[in-house]
């Protein structure tokens, strides 16, 4: 059974911000990157538990997208009872350690 992938308002803002930073309006490569990231996120509907758990963050997982040095982390949780994936935050993997407040 497929899971519903819910991209939260915070994660949607993250996507828009990242797209702006890579000048998505001016570059075909940026559009390709954006579409690939979105496709990767939506692939969580099939196997959401395939990605690693985040250390010290109960029930949060992270999907890595891209190639070094341009790797992005998609932070999400799986609600098994509702068969839903909640995408909480998207960030560049090289950023400082994530804090709980980063998810709001």
What domains, with CATH codes, occur in the chain?
A: 4-103 (3.30.2310.20)
| Spatial separation of the C-alpha atoms in residues 72 and 82, rounded to whole Å | 27
Residues near 76 by Cβ (< 8 Å), separated by ≥ 6?
44, 48, 51, 60, 61, 62, 63, 85, 86, 87, 88
Q: Tell me: the pLDDT tens digits for 53-93? A: 988 777 899 999 988 888 899 999 999 999 999 999 999 87
Query: Whole-prediction pTM value?
Result: 0.82
The per-residue pLDDT of the chain, averaged, comes to 86
pLDDT band of residue 12 (cuts 50, 70, 90) is very high
Q: Return the SS3 of 62.
A: strand
Name the residue among 66, 83, 82, 65 with its Cα closest to residue 74: 65
């Amino acid at each position: 059974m497929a899971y519903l992938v819910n991209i939260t308002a915070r994660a949607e803002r993250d996507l828009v911000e990242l797209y702006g930073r890579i000048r998505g309006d001016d570059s075909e490569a940026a559009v390709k990157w954006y579409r690939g990231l979105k496709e990767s996120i939506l692939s969580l509907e099939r196997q959401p538990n395939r990605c690693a758990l985040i250390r010290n963050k109960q029930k949060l997982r992270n999907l890595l997208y891209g190639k070094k040095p341009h790797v992005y982390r998609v932070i999400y949780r799986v609600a098994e009872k509702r068969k839903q994936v909640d995408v909480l935050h998207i960030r560049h993997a090289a950023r400082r350690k994530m804090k709980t407040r980063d998810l709001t």
